[in-house]
Amino acid sequence: MPEVRIYKVPAEATAKAKSLLEAEDFFDVKAKCASCGSILESKISSSEIAKYETSESRGKIKPPEKLCKCGGQWKFEKKQLVINEFARTGYIFRSAASIGMKDGSFIYIKADFDFFAKNEPFLTALNIELANSSESIEAKEKIEAEQDAAATGMGGIFG
Ligand SMILES: [Zn+2]
């Protein structure tokens, strides 16, 4: 059963919260050059990763665009997809002011226990904790009212 959790974002953690929530998926990569043995350790976005690999298009083999300095091809020893689970699960980020509340911002997340068990530590590491119960109730009501209004086409523009 999914549950809703409301997190309070202190003003000074807003920028870090946004970069966590909006981060692109990426591959955590370790590759070795097939020619000279150089090692590449990097985070590569999912849109860039194909440039490191041989591709095939209509039976034609195309060499990778991205090569080692020596011209050799990279062979992946590790290629682990790191997904932004906040983006995948969905969240609502609202400044307190935009929903008629005080101080900082709120993050609204509806997800299963497993999601929270795995991802809540990334928030607490940024000093983003569960909102206290009265703030949590108020923020949840206001955000859900806003969502309902938007869904029925009566919503304005929410910041
Ligand atoms: Zn090389």
Output the CA 4–ligand 1 centroid distance in Å: 50
Q: Pick the more confident residue, 154 or 44.
A: 44
Output the CA 67–ligand 1 centroid distance in Å: 8
Using the predicted structure, report yes or no on whether residue 159 has a pLDDT greater than 60: no
Q: What is the pLDDT of residue 156?
A: 52
DSSP the chain: --EEEEEEE-GGGHHHHHHHHHPPPEEEEEEEETTT--EEEEEEETTTGGGGS-EEETTEEE--S---TTSPPEEEEEEEEE--HHHHH--EEEETGGGT--SSEEEEEEE-HHHHHHHHHHHHTTT-EEPPHHHHHHHHHHHHHHHHHHHTT------
pLDDT digits (tens, 9 = 90+) for 53-107: 988 888 899 889 999 999 999 999 999 999 999 999 999 999 999 999 989 999 9
Domains of the chain: 3-23+85-151 (3.30.70.240), 26-82 (no CATH)
Query: Do residues 44 and 25 make contact, with C-beta atoms less than 8 angstroms apart?
Result: no
pLDDT digits (tens, 9 = 90+) for 114-141: 999 999 999 999 999 999 999 999 999 9
Output the CA 158–ligand 1 centroid distance in Å: 51
Output the CA 39–ligand 1 centroid distance in Å: 8
Output the CA 81–ligand 1 centroid distance in Å: 24
Q: What is the pLDDT of residue 55?
A: 86
Whole-structure pTM value = 0.76
Using the predicted structure, report yes or no on whether residue 46 has a pLDDT greater than 90: no
Output the CA 74–ligand 1 centroid distance in Å: 8
